[in-house]
């Protein structure tokens, strides 16, 4: 039973509706609703407005608080700008526990010996074994590493494995999640995230697809993204709290579109190139994916490895699934199974192509013309060998 709106509230609602970007009228409405004698007025007024059109997260939060008081939790949830408010502990993925998956180590990653060696030398050893020495010498161990390379080639996987190898806890942060959930109260939430991570040190704080932050920083400055990013960078710098025993890892397939601010010393100041799977890696991935499936005796995995140069891990996955689909199509029943054969793969090769080539083409420009500071040395090295 909703109360008719008073004239001034009704006219404010109309005003806001006709021009939702006018923050002043939104604000006036929220103030007015705060004094409304009957809480059903609050529900009726805010129910007529689109929370998504409200320009200010702070106002959305105030509206949500009003709706809470008005005993309308569902509408409040629509208005609330972030998942949880007024708390320092930040549930990154809503209320549900984070999907943690089984822990993986370097043994689960095929090939890529060069990358593993580098990661051991540049990251794991200093982080794991030298921490005491670093402390003695009062050398700041902080800073971060940016992994870059084509999509589907194991960056995310490598990050998880790295945390395992460091005996560190793993805090997975998706840039896009931060942006969507942290608008409003950004500083507090980022601070909460770092606080939480500090409590479980040694810890790896992993920013997957970190370019989402940098890009939106440029194009979406109106929506409080800048505050989120600034808060993040400030925390990384360690002025707000001690970052000893924390490793920042970022992953991206477009390192060149990352805001320069991310690359300053103490932030993502080192880079590691994660190339497409080499022969050993491809064999590892193919054999792993075929394991336990009905396979024809003469299936030539060696030939598949040879023919999939330039396939990403994800491409290989798609190739196998496609071949498997053909085998299933040909199988008549549970008892008359057609095992996965070379012919099925021939069909699959017609449909699934490498997605890496395009990336390498683009990357070549940056390796050649934007490598003044040596950021892309490893990429340049790879491209030289790859071209042969
Ligand atoms: N060297 C590798 N060894 C084993 N699996 C790999 C390897 N490279 C890629 N993969 C597989 O390919 C898929 C994509 O990897 P992912 O880490 O999500 O790539 P990225 O984060 O670089 O986009 C995953 O299923 C992963 O298991
Ligand atoms: Mg990834």
Q: Is residue 177 within a helix (H) or strand (E), and if so which, with residue range? A: helix 175-182
Q: Could you tell which of 108, 114, 148, 152 is best to mutate to test the pocket of ligand 1, judged by most ligand atoms within 8 Å of the CB?
A: 152
The pLDDT of residue 92 is 39
**Whole-Å CA distances, 68 to 38, 49, 55, 100:** 14, 16, 20, 33
Spell out the domain ranges in the chain.
7-79, 106-273, 279-351, 356-387
Distance between Cα 166 and ligand 2 center (Å)? 20
Distance between Cα 43 and ligand 1 center (Å)? 48
Report the alpha-carbon distance of residue 181 to residue 179 in Å, rounded.
6
Dihedral sign, Cα of residue 70, residue 74, residue 80, residue 84:
positive
Distance between Cα 14 and ligand 2 center (Å)? 45
Q: How many CB atoms are closer than 10 A to CB 127?
A: 21
CB 196 within 8 A of CB 245: no
**Whole-Å CA distances, 316 to 269, 281, 323, 351:** 32, 11, 11, 12
CB 286 within 8 A of CB 257: no
DSSP state of 72: -
Distance between Cα 207 and ligand 2 center (Å)? 10
Distance between Cα 316 and ligand 1 center (Å)? 10
Q: Is 217 helix (H, G, I), strand (E, B) or coil?
A: helix
Would you state the structure tokens that stand for residue 228, as one six-digit string? 């989120």
Flag residues of the chain having pLDDT under 70: 1-4, 82-102, 129-142, 176, 180-184, 186, 214-225, 388
CB 62 within 8 A of CB 26: no
Q: What class, spelled out in words, does domain 279-351 have in CATH?
A: mainly alpha
> In the sheet that 246-252 helps form, which strands lie side by side, from edge to edge?
169-174, 203-208, 246-252, 144-148, 268-273
The pLDDT of residue 69 is 86
For ligand 1, atom 12, the nearest C-alpha belongs to: 313
Ligand 1 atom nearest the C-alpha of 150 is 22
Distance between Cα 155 and ligand 2 center (Å)? 5
Q: Could you tell which of 110, 146, 157, 175 is best to mutate to test the pocket of ligand 1, judged by most ligand atoms within 8 Å of the CB?
A: 157
Helix, strand, coil: what percent of the chain each, to 5?
Answer: 55, 10, 35
Distance between Cα 263 and ligand 1 center (Å)? 25
Q: Could you tell which of 114, 154, 162, 206 is best to mutate to test the pocket of ligand 1, judged by most ligand atoms within 8 Å of the CB?
A: 154
Report the alpha-carbon distance of residue 50 to residue 59 in Å, rounded.
13
Q: Within 6 Å (CB) of ligand 1, which residues are found? A: 109-112, 151-157, 251, 277, 281, 284-285, 313-314, 317
Model confidence over 46-86: pLDDT tens digits?
Answer: 888 888 778 788 888 889 889 888 888 778 887 887 543 33
The pLDDT of residue 287 is 96
Domains 106-273 and 279-351 share a fold: no
CATH hierarchy code of domain 106-273: 3.40.50.300
pTM confidence score: 0.71
Strands, E assignment, 101-162: 144-148
Model confidence over 195-213: pLDDT tens digits?
Answer: 989 898 888 999 998 888 7
Ligand 1 atom nearest the C-alpha of 316 is 12
Report the alpha-carbon distance of residue 108 to residue 225 in Å, rounded.
36
Residues with CB in 5 Å of ion ligand 2: 156
In 3D, which of 121, 127, 142 has the Cα closest to residue 269? 142
């Amino acid at each position: 039973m909703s109360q008719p709106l008073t004239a001034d509230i009704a006219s404010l609602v109309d005003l806001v509706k006709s021009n939702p970007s006018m923050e002043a009228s939104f604000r006036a409405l929220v103030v007015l609703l705060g004094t409304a004698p009957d809480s059903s007025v609050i529900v009726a007024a805010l129910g007529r407005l689109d929370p998504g059109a409200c320009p200010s997260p702070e106002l959305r939060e105030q509206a949500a608080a009003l709706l809470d008081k008005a005993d309308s939790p569902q509408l409040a949830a629509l208005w609330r700008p972030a998942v949880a408010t007024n708390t320092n502990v930040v549930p990154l993925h809503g209320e549900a526990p984070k999907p943690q998956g089984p822990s993986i180590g370097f043994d689960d990653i095929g090939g890529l010996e060069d990358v593993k060696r580098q990661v051991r030398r540049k990251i794991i050893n200093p982080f794991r074994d030298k921490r005491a020495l670093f402390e003695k010498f009062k050398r700041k161990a902080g800073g971060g590493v940016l992994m870059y390379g084509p999509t589907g080639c194991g960056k995310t996987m490598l990050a998880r494995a790295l945390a395992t190898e460091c005996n560190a806890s793993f805090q997975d942060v998706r840039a896009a999640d931060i942006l969507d959930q942290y608008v409003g109260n950004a500083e507090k939430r980022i601070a909460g995230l770092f606080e939480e991570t500090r409590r479980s040190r040694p810890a790896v704080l992993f920013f997957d697809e970190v370019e989402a932050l940098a890009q939106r920083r440029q194009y979406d400055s109106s929506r409080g993204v800048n505050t989120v990013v600034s808060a993040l960078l400030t925390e990384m710098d360690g002025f707000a709290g001690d970052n000893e025993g924390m490793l920042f890892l970022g992953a991206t397939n477009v390192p060149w579109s990352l805001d320069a601010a991310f690359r300053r010393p103490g932030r993502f100041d080192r880079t590691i190139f994660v190339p497409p799977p080499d022969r050993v890696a491809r064999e590892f991935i193919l054999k792993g994916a075929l394991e336990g499936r009905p396979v024809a005796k003469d299936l030539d995995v060696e030939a598949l490895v040879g023919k999939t140069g330039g396939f990403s891990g994800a491409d290989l996955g798609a190739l196998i699934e496609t071949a498997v689909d053909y085998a299933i199509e040909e199988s008549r029943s549970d008892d008359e199974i057609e095992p996965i054969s070379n012919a099925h793969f021939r069909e699959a090769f017609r449909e699934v192509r490498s997605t890496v080539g395009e990336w390498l083409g683009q990357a070549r420009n940056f390796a050649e013309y934007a490598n003044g500071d040596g950021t892309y040395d490893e990429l340049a090295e790879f491209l030289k060998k790859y071209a042969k």
